[in-house]
Amino acid sequence: MSATKSIAHNLALIRERMAAAAVRAGRGPESITLMAVSKTVAPEHIAEAHAAGVRCFGENRVQEFTEKLPQLQHLKDAQWRLIGHLQSNKAKKTVELFHTVDSVDSLTLARKLNQAAAQAGRQLEVLLEINIGGEESKAGLAANSPELEQILQAAPELEHLRISGLMTVPPYTEDPEGARPWFRGLRQLRESITARHLPAIRMDVLSMGMSHDFEVAIEEGSTCVRVGSAIFGSRPKP
Ligand SMILES: *Cc1c(COP(=O)(O)O)cnc(C)c1O
């Protein structure tokens, strides 16, 4: 099967599985966005996913996306979201390239992005990345940490950021059910933040679930699933 046909075919199957999971959770399928995670994927295959109806794409490295973007300019209505760890010194470049940054994990980074967005004269949507399993190896703010609290409190001063929700990558387990308590934990964190009615904080987006566990994530309230290998095939090892 050609890559073209298989990408469209993979997407159709994923959309069916997403819809079924939404129904199980008593939710409308349209309440969940499918993000195609296109890191390491060549521009022509990204364009295939776009042709098959995907509009939301996730990339994890500024440098890689800088190189690919010239071949993606024709996808005018694509939304490019940065989902990988970002160093603050790349804030300016990031604001030039991406619509959103879903991986804000420090107050320093939030401030730099705010500054860069101000200089660019735009608003930047961001998500706060939560290290829900408290893993040493992962980026993200610990749930209920002082630093998360500092960002929530600083939001009104970060006038060029639109803080719109939370993102997480839970600890890996062979059985996708193992992720359920972590997904539930992120949803509960979102509910507790929402209940505080903090100024300049919105919690519309709950970005959780990947190829391996997106159905469980949808059952636990995900509004955006980030699917890479199930669409494009397995990636070369980094
Ligand atoms: C790579 C990546 C994904 C997609 O992973 P798959 O298992 O290929 O679906 C999702 N989220 C983040 C943050 C990633 O880095």
- Report CA(221)–ligand 1 centroid distance (Å): 18
Give the bridge partners for 165, in sequence order.
205
- Report CA(144)–ligand 1 centroid distance (Å): 24
- Structure confidence at residue 236 (pLDDT): 86
Query: Nearest residue CA, atom 6 of ligand 1?
Result: 228
Q: What is the pTM of this model?
A: 0.97
Q: Residue 82 CA to chain centroid, in angstroms?
A: 7
- If you search the block for the tokens 């939560």, which residue do you land on? 130
- Structure confidence at residue 3 (pLDDT): 60
As for ligand 1, residues whose beta carbon falls within 6 Å of it are 37, 39, 60, 83-84, 169, 210-212, 226-230
Query: Nearest residue CA, atom 12 of ligand 1?
Result: 83
Give the bridge partners for 80, in sequence order.
57
Helix (H) or strand (E) holding 59: strand 56-59
Give the bridge partners for 161, in sequence order.
124
Return mean pLDDT, the chain. 97
Query: Nearest residue CA, atom 7 of ligand 1?
Result: 211
- Structure confidence at residue 1 (pLDDT): 47
pLDDT in tens, 94-114: 999 999 999 999 999 999 999
- Report CA(189)–ligand 1 centroid distance (Å): 22
Q: Which two three-digit tokens encode residue 193?
A: 């933040």
Ranges in the chain, pLDDT < 50: 1
Are the CB atoms for 197 and 213 separated by under 8 Å? no
- Using the atom order of ligand 1, give the atom closest to the CA of residue 103: 13
- Going by C-alpha positions, the residue among 167, 215, 169 that lies closest to residue 13 is 215
- If you search the block for the tokens 């703010």, which residue do you land on? 141
Q: Which two three-digit tokens encode residue 154?
A: 């600083």
